[in-house]
Structure 1
């Protein structure tokens, strides 16, 4: 029977060395060669404007929403935002950094009362005389939309999201290390607009998951009822949308405090039509290291959230950079809170990833072959080119190109799962957890063994984490 050291070496060779059967060299190096040859440096792409406040971002006029009816909606994993309390409480936030966000106290009660009046008026007067119908009316009046949506299990190929765990499975308990998945996402689309939100709970555990779910719930609820009011009045400019996004983060933070969650990142993107035919604008607000992107068949991949971090400095991937939730016992950490906008076209795909995906698209973390020493800004550009290459050419490098958000989400999660396979295999070895007789080792001994093995596995590609992607294809459905 091979020793653990021999097995470790075998895993390392199997998953880390280039192999024709696992990774076509021309495909894996194509994006690097393009960059090093200068083929991608001067590609002109729509500008991304960003700032700390709505007033710092130059305003752009918006077109009209065609229809307010929800076309697609999805949240997850495991119930997503539906799994937290659905009633907001009025909370105050004393952090001076978010005092400029208007207080939204009382808006929920007014919103719910309007929904009840609308529902009651839609019921035939004659039916109200029937006792059975009366009971149904009461049930309907007591029920309410969850974050502004009736059905949270209605995805389409053009509006999709999914999560998975990249952590190893314990060989004795058969559970994923790091469970439960602490990410949460939600997407809601209408005829020519969309809301996308992703949160990544900081660290592990139920409280982190609660923070992510609460943040997504509070954010989406506020966006739905503010951007799509009963008056059918669309926002006139991107400044209006950015202000609404900022206030939605206030609502998200309040919901975390209410549900006693810990800390989470949060990224939200709203897509609205421009006044120019067949053009749209993506408006984004983010705090932390969950990143937003736009894939354009014409321009490639660009990062919508790049203003939230310095692409000229190497980032410590253990630092989320900012978070909602009680960082100091009550207030959030908003040091990298950023608002941004960019023009997008029909057919573009907007997507958000947790760092379990974005970090594994980093060429250094992925140990992509043929890569020389690079500066931070080059590393950032190569990450975008790696992502674009995957979308255009697939994991094999032979295509076909991704055409829908569902295909994009599936592709990226499949890629990062394959990339991190070696690390999982190493950490799933029974010798870390049990003696030669199969008797489980003491927890302290297991912890030390894992620590030693993780140090030795730094040369193996990939980063273990929770991985989530949510994506939307820009459409103009009637």
Structure 2
């Protein structure tokens, strides 16, 4: 990492005072300096002689300068004090300027006065030359020590940060149950082998650890510089991070096969397709012993989601059992935590690549943390991960505005994102273009062959295997999906998994075996097409992260089902089975999908009123358009420079005559999280959607009371609600978390009745307000949303609003998994219930029975309303179902989000 002088100074000033001893030995600069200081008295005598001449102004200034120089030189000859003291005397340039100024003054003085004392002048000038040389040498020596001290402290600081992150990672890992029986016996045998080898060799623990510390760096010196120097798009400038982390998703340290998702931003899941082998119990032949070959699960994923960045990672433990599981858990968590901690240093794409390399190193170190290679088996893992960054096409090196540049693969005027991805091993990454739905492999060629036994590289163990370490950079557009896969998924996307030989697709290979295919160019292209056929089989469905992850995971499960059953037959498994009849590869299977773009369904085009944070400001603050009249209104009501006010103050100044119902409705919109605080940014967003001030309350009540308005409903939930509704059904919701922008979702009357979305962008205050909606060749303006609804209804595009409001009911939890539902309801009182989306496209009601167990029933959508599983009764609305079961005592109280 490159350190500037400012970095060194700030690190040193913030550190505790430390004594630094002066170097001992024959230092020429010290000798010269001592000689100079020894003649300070002579300098004073000479100054006194000069002071006796008439022009006292020169003599006073010379005396003052001499005192300063003498004091500084005295301090330089003493032992070094604390760091702050060193900083006081390490300002090389000012001190040298002072000495040279003193020399010039002296020479000029003696020359102008014609003192006729050439000897005096010569002695003075020589002393000043000696002094300046001595100070230069001494301060250069101090500067070197200072830099070394700062670097040492930086290393110590990073070590402490690393240990803090490891504590968080180990907290969960220590609670995971180690697998008994076979696993422990394997570990024990490995320990015995290691102990035996160590007893009969000269390698000692300390030597092993020294070797580890020397060899564990991911990449060093010139090799690293060369790698970063040839990086594609390395000098591209990126926008700074905006806001704090919004979501953290990660698979559990144990055997977590549940789906983890957040809105339409990211979704990940890991499952095992290994068989369960049943064998007779030697103690009781009538009893069967089940051995799940897939436990513990050694695949892990982790992802951090920010407003304009994503930090993903997938790690695939090499082999089974606890050491690889632990390695993958530690590596995936450390990788994302490390980049999250140090991402503020990223200015260019090259900086990001450097941080990714450091994160891979930290991931390796996390596996080795507190491990003794002499006494225990240390797991290995492959790993793929990186960071998605927003490209800054409007600023040059100094942050000044410049003409937009054109990057390869993007349209002029666009401001794309870039994914900087590091990979070691055979996990793969794919990009799905949101506009063309074309799939492209990012990590093309990282395995290098079809030999599934050789991942090509790994971290962990004593020395990391870096044969296929690569940093990839790929430009992305908003709305693209990035898919990270372990080999348990992508090996099932290959032509071999489809039962094809190389000759079947006109590829020549020795013995017609895929392992002998030299290039994987064809295989990569095949996987791209296969992936898209799974994710979007009909080529007409909108891409979403949940559907992508579910589709790929379920495909792997279904493909390997027969093979898994074959493996599970005790004593009857033939290792030379017909892989055409039993396709696929059983393995731990992980898919992590995330969407590229600004969070909260906010597109770049809607960002015009939000300026990029100034580089001198806090990166978490957004600046407001200074010319917007609502800015003036805020300043008038709450004072210039005020960034946030309490709810009561907001009401008293802006709408003092509003009723409680009106206040409540406004609060639901502008403070949906019930923080009792209104920020200037939220106010600006709110007024752009519901202003001007004199019509604000009227507009709020008019829109909030409309049957088609559903408030803060996510895009994914909206699509699920509308799925199956007749063409022309529609609803309007907020765009993400922004109370001034709206989205119209509706069922089209073409394209097989698929849901579609139209973003309603607020017009600028200069154009008179209102809203705009895109058309084929133009943008249509509407004074109000009601006018827009009427116009689309008149043209037959919209027919009936989706008026059911249960999506905003406290008992509706939207798109959460069955496992999450059970976890939330366990331990709650009898009759506690929730309703959610079901994975099969219906709804599910879950409640706590009087035994404490959680029961579930499906709810089907019918032409006349809804019907509960195993019941013929039809309910007009979901609310009627809840009321009916509350009346019967099955439901007693909802599990709310609070």
TM-score band w.r.t. shorter chain: 0.5 to 0.7
Q: Are 1:413 and 2:534 matched, yes or no?
A: no
1:461 CA displacement:
0.7
| Aligned equivalent of 1:317, options 449, 452, 458 | 452
Residues 350 and 182 from structure 1, CA distance in 2 versus in 1: closer, same or farther, beyond 3 angstroms?
A: same
Instruction: Please show how residues 37-48 of structure 1 align to structure 2 within 5 Å.
Output: none
Residues 348 and 153 from structure 1, CA distance in 2 versus in 1: closer, same or farther, beyond 3 angstroms?
A: closer
**CA distance in structure 2 between the partners assigned to 1:306 and 1:324 by the alignment:** 20
Q: Are 1:280 and 2:417 matched, yes or no?
A: yes
Q: Secondary structure at the match of 2:426?
A: coil
| Aligned equivalent of 1:72, options 244, 247, 259 | 247
Report if the CA contact (8 A) 1:201-1:212 is conserved.
yes
Residues 457 and 174 from structure 1, CA distance in 2 versus in 1: closer, same or farther, beyond 3 angstroms?
A: farther
Aligned to 1:360: 492
Aligned to 1:241: 352
Q: Are 1:165 and 2:297 matched, yes or no?
A: no
Aligned to 2:326: 210
Residues 189 and 52 from structure 1, CA distance in 2 versus in 1: closer, same or farther, beyond 3 angstroms?
A: farther
Aligned to 2:464: 332
1:168 CA displacement:
1.0
1:185 CA displacement:
0.3
Q: Which is helix-richer, 1 or 2? A: 2
* Larger relative contact order (Cα-Cα within 8 Å, sequence gap ≥ 6): 1
Q: Secondary structure at the match of 2:497?
A: coil
**CA distance in structure 1 between the partners assigned to 2:302 and 2:417 by the alignment:** 20
Aligned to 1:466: 588
**CA distance in structure 2 between the partners assigned to 1:218 and 1:282 by the alignment:** 19
1:250 CA displacement:
0.8
Aligned to 1:102: none
Which digits, 9 at most, give the CA deviation of each residue in 1:60-117, with x for residues without a partner? 4233245231122110045699xxxxxxxxxxxxxxxxxxxxxxxxxxxxxxxxxxxx
1:175 CA displacement:
4.2
1:269 CA displacement:
2.2
1:306 CA displacement:
1.5
Q: 5+ residue gaps in structure 2?
A: 1-224, 279-287, 372-377, 394-413, 508-516, 601-898
Report if the CA contact (8 A) 2:238-2:349 is conserved.
no
Q: Are 1:254 and 2:365 matched, yes or no?
A: yes
Q: Are 1:266 and 2:380 matched, yes or no?
A: no
**CA distance in structure 2 between the partners assigned to 1:199 and 1:265 by the alignment:** 6
1:372 CA displacement:
2.6
**CA distance in structure 2 between the partners assigned to 1:73 and 1:388 by the alignment:** 27
Aligned to 1:475: 597
Q: Are 1:308 and 2:446 matched, yes or no?
A: yes
1:368 CA displacement:
5.9
**CA distance in structure 2 between the partners assigned to 1:66 and 1:252 by the alignment:** 23
Report if the CA contact (8 A) 1:349-1:472 is conserved.
yes
Aligned to 1:189: 305
Aligned to 1:88: none
Q: What is the CA RMSD across the aligned residues, in angstroms?
A: 2.6
- Normalized against structure 1, the TM-score is what? 0.63
Q: Secondary structure at the match of 2:457?
A: coil
1:315 CA displacement:
2.4
Q: Secondary structure at the match of 2:536?
A: helix
**CA distance in structure 2 between the partners assigned to 1:157 and 1:180 by the alignment:** 29
- Normalized against structure 2, the TM-score is what? 0.34
Q: Secondary structure at the match of 1:186?
A: strand
**CA distance in structure 2 between the partners assigned to 1:173 and 1:321 by the alignment:** 37
1:353 CA displacement:
0.4
Q: Are 1:350 and 2:482 matched, yes or no?
A: yes
Instruction: Please show how residues 118-129 of structure 1 align to structure 2 within 5 Å.
Output: none
| Aligned equivalent of 2:505, options 357, 367, 372 | 372
1:428 CA displacement:
2.9
**CA distance in structure 1 between the partners assigned to 2:483 and 2:370 by the alignment:** 28
Aligned to 1:455: 576
1:309 CA displacement:
4.0
1:160 CA displacement:
1.2
Residues 402 and 421 from structure 1, CA distance in 2 versus in 1: closer, same or farther, beyond 3 angstroms?
A: farther
Report if the CA contact (8 A) 1:214-1:259 is conserved.
no
Deviates further, 58-67 or 298-307:
58-67
**CA distance in structure 1 between the partners assigned to 2:249 and 2:596 by the alignment:** 17
Q: Secondary structure at the match of 1:308?
A: coil
Q: 5+ residue gaps in structure 1?
A: 1-50, 82-151, 229-233, 433-445
**CA distance in structure 1 between the partners assigned to 2:226 and 2:299 by the alignment:** 25
**CA distance in structure 2 between the partners assigned to 1:477 and 1:156 by the alignment:** 10
Q: Secondary structure at the match of 2:554?
A: helix
Residues 265 and 278 from structure 1, CA distance in 2 versus in 1: closer, same or farther, beyond 3 angstroms?
A: same
Which digits, 9 at most, give the CA deviation of each residue in 1:229-279, with x for residues without a partner? xxxxx6221100000000011111111011544110011121001124441
Report if the CA contact (8 A) 1:264-1:325 is conserved.
yes
Residues 408 and 371 from structure 1, CA distance in 2 versus in 1: closer, same or farther, beyond 3 angstroms?
A: farther
Q: Secondary structure at the match of 1:458?
A: coil
Q: Are 1:390 and 2:522 matched, yes or no?
A: no
**CA distance in structure 2 between the partners assigned to 1:405 and 1:368 by the alignment:** 30
**CA distance in structure 2 between the partners assigned to 1:411 and 1:66 by the alignment:** 32
Report if the CA contact (8 A) 2:255-2:295 is conserved.
no
Count of equivalent residues = 325
Report if the CA contact (8 A) 1:157-1:405 is conserved.
yes
**CA distance in structure 2 between the partners assigned to 1:290 and 1:366 by the alignment:** 20
Residues 168 and 218 from structure 1, CA distance in 2 versus in 1: closer, same or farther, beyond 3 angstroms?
A: same
Q: Are 1:423 and 2:563 matched, yes or no?
A: yes
**CA distance in structure 2 between the partners assigned to 1:379 and 1:385 by the alignment:** 10
Which digits, 9 at most, give the CA deviation of each residue in 1:39-69, with x for residues without a partner? xxxxxxxxxxxx9822221314233245231
**CA distance in structure 1 between the partners assigned to 2:261 and 2:585 by the alignment:** 31
Residues 174 and 77 from structure 1, CA distance in 2 versus in 1: closer, same or farther, beyond 3 angstroms?
A: farther
Report if the CA contact (8 A) 1:198-1:353 is conserved.
yes
Of the two, which has the highest radius of gyration? 2
Report if the CA contact (8 A) 2:261-2:268 is conserved.
no
Q: Secondary structure at the match of 1:454?
A: coil
Q: Secondary structure at the match of 1:456?
A: coil
Q: Are 1:219 and 2:338 matched, yes or no?
A: no
Report if the CA contact (8 A) 1:423-1:457 is conserved.
no
**CA distance in structure 2 between the partners assigned to 1:416 and 1:243 by the alignment:** 35
Residues 467 and 380 from structure 1, CA distance in 2 versus in 1: closer, same or farther, beyond 3 angstroms?
A: same
Residues 388 and 212 from structure 1, CA distance in 2 versus in 1: closer, same or farther, beyond 3 angstroms?
A: same
**CA distance in structure 1 between the partners assigned to 2:441 and 2:533 by the alignment:** 15
1:384 CA displacement:
1.3
Aligned to 2:407: none
Residues 307 and 54 from structure 1, CA distance in 2 versus in 1: closer, same or farther, beyond 3 angstroms?
A: farther
Aligned to 2:231: 57
Aligned to 1:6: none
